């Protein structure tokens, strides 16, 4: 009996260790560090909110920073603010990501990019039945096709960069790009689309030492969110609240740390970490510790996910019942 207990305990301890070692050996791509100092970081949507916070922090870390957005006025304000606080002269480019020629011109002028952060995004929440197709197209064009334009324009010089150190392309998704959310049919589709783009692109550019990151913030205090909240459906508010809420500076900090450590998936808070484990799918995972967590919690995290669905569908049902009563 003692022998049996001993064997059992050793097995319980050895199995996880063996799994960890196995995962350490197989996780691909291998982990990588992306330096920022003295490198060219190009941020779209860098004049406001999360993008502006990213530009500030990248400049503070000694990067050469370029920002792109439509309004030159907002870009100049951002440039002045960053110049004042860091002493770094940020290059600004006024262009619409929907205009490929304008984007190509800006990228050519800016010079070879080491870290491209595709952060621009628009969000106009509404039930699809109520929403105009113009708004649906607007979100898909800016968020998804705009990302294609940026990457397509920047890739040639990124691939042929003389500095052979690891480079990065980071895409700003959203927790609504990991789970579909009421009121976000077009927005979620645009952000889920970024994931397909990112997974396929990582396979294509790994040979050029370019590493892709996908960032998944929850609701974040930005000028964009203030506008969004003026017209967000009640149910969107209720469901989005489950993801938590953050300051733009903290999202930018998590994002930059994730980019520097070459993480493919970058959650920003605890809820986001849960969501990322629950939606690991077939995305690359460079960290064997995270891979270990994903494997051992797979069953239980699915149960947690189903509980969330239960709560959400309950809210939807109650909301409909209440509407009928009025
Ligand atoms: N705030 C939030 O709750 C969350 C935001 N996100 C994502 O983070 C990103 C940034 O959001 P946030 O900081 O809130 O947004 P803001 O609305 O505060 O800023 C958006 C930025 O994108 C630029 N932009 C918008 N449209 C275009 C365009 N067509 N071409 C070029 N630039 C454009 C804006 O400048 P201009 O208008 O001058 O072009 C601005 O610089 C988005 O992708 C968003 O989806 C993800 C999760 C949560
Ligand atoms: C299994 C564990 C699950 C854990 C919690 C799941 C919570 C999901 C909530 C989704 C919130 C989506 C917010 C989008 C914010 C956004 O992108 C807009 N503000 C537009 O910018």
Read off the pLDDT of residues 58-113 as tens digits, 9 standing for 90 and up.
Answer: 999 999 999 999 999 999 999 999 999 999 999 999 999 999 999 999 999 999 99
**What does the DSSP 8-state code read for residue 250?**
H
Q: Rounded to an integer, what distance in angstroms lies between the CA atom of residue 295 and that of residue 297? A: 6
> Where does the chain have alpha helices with state H?
2-26, 49-60, 72-86, 100-110, 133-139, 146-159, 185-205, 223-229, 234-241, 248-260, 270-278, 288-325
Length in residues, the chain = 326
Where the chain has pLDDT below 50, the residues are none
Residues catalogued as catalytic: 173, 187, 191
pTM value is: 0.97
Quick check: 223 and 229 in contact, CB under 8 A? no
Share of the chain above pLDDT 70, in %: 99
CB 266 within 8 A of CB 254: yes
- pLDDT of 6: 80
Q: How far is the CA of 9 from the centre of ligand 1 (A)?
A: 53
Q: Which residues line ligand 2 (CB under 6 A)?
A: 123, 174-176, 179, 181, 218-219, 225, 228, 239-240, 242-243, 271, 274-275, 278, 301, 304-305, 308
Strand order in the sheet with 210-216: 91-94, 64-69, 40-44, 115-118, 167-172, 210-216, 265-267
What is d(CA 280, CA 127) in angstroms, rounded to the nearest whole number? 28
Instruction: Please check whether residue 248 is in contact with residue 222, taking contact to mean a CB–CB distance below 8 angstroms.
Output: yes
From residue 33, alpha-carbon distances to 234, 244, 257 in Å are: 42, 29, 10
Give the per-residue pLDDT at 2.
65
- Annotated domain spans of the chain: 32-295
Note the ipTM here: 0.99
The per-residue pLDDT for 278 is 98
Q: Which ligand is nearest to the CA of 272?
A: 2
Cα 109 to middle of ligand 1, angstroms: 23
What integer pLDDT is reported at residue 1 of this predicted model?
57
Tell which atom from ligand 1 comes closest to the C-alpha of 75.
Answer: 38
Compute the distance from residue 50 Cα to the ligand 2 centre, in Å. 16
Strands 245-247, 265-267: pairing is unpaired
- Class assignment of domain 32-295? alpha beta
Looking at residue 325, its pLDDT comes to 79
Query: Residue 183 has what DSSP assignment?
Result: T
Structure letter (DSSP) for residue 144: I
């Amino acid at each position: 009996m003692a022998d049996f207990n001993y064997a059992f305990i050793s097995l319980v301890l050895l199995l996880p260790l063996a799994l960890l070692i196995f995962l350490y050996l197989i996780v691909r791509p291998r982990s990588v560090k992306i330096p920022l100092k003295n490198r060219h970081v190009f941020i779209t949507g860098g004049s406001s909110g999360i993008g502006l916070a990213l530009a500030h922090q990248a400049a503070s870390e000694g990067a050469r920073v370029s920002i792109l957005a439509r309004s030159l006025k907002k870009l100049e304000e951002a440039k002045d603010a960053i110049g004042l606080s860091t002493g770094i002269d940020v290059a600004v480019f006024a262009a619409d990501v929907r205009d490929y020629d304008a984007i190509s011109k800006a990228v050519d002028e800016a010079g070879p990019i080491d870290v491209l952060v595709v952060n621009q995004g628009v969000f106009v929440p509404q039930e699809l039945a109520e929403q105009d197709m113009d708004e649906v197209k607007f979100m898909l064009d800016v968020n998804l096709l705009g990302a294609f334009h940026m990457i397509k324009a920047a890739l040639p010089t990124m691939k042929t960069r003389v500095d052979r150190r690891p480079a990065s392309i980071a895409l700003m998704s959203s927790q609504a790009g990991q789970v579909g959310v009421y009121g976000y049919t077009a927005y979620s589709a645009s952000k889920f689309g970024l994931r397909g783009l990112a997974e396929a692109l990582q396979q294509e550019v790994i040979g050029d030492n370019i590493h892709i990151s996908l960032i998944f913030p929850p609701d974040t205090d930005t000028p964009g969110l203030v506008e969004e909240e003026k017209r967000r459906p009640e149910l969107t508010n209720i469901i989005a609240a489950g993801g938590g809420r953050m300051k733009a500076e903290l999202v930018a900090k998590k994002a930059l740390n994730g980019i520097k450590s070459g993480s493919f998936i970058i959650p920003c808070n605890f809820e986001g970490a849960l969501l990322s484990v629950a939606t690991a799918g077939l995305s690359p995972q460079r960290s064997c510790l995270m891979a270990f967590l994903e494997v051992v919690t797979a069953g239980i995290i699915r149960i947690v996910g189903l509980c969330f669905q239960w709560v959400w569908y309950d809210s939807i049902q109650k909301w409909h019942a209440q509407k009928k009563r009025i």
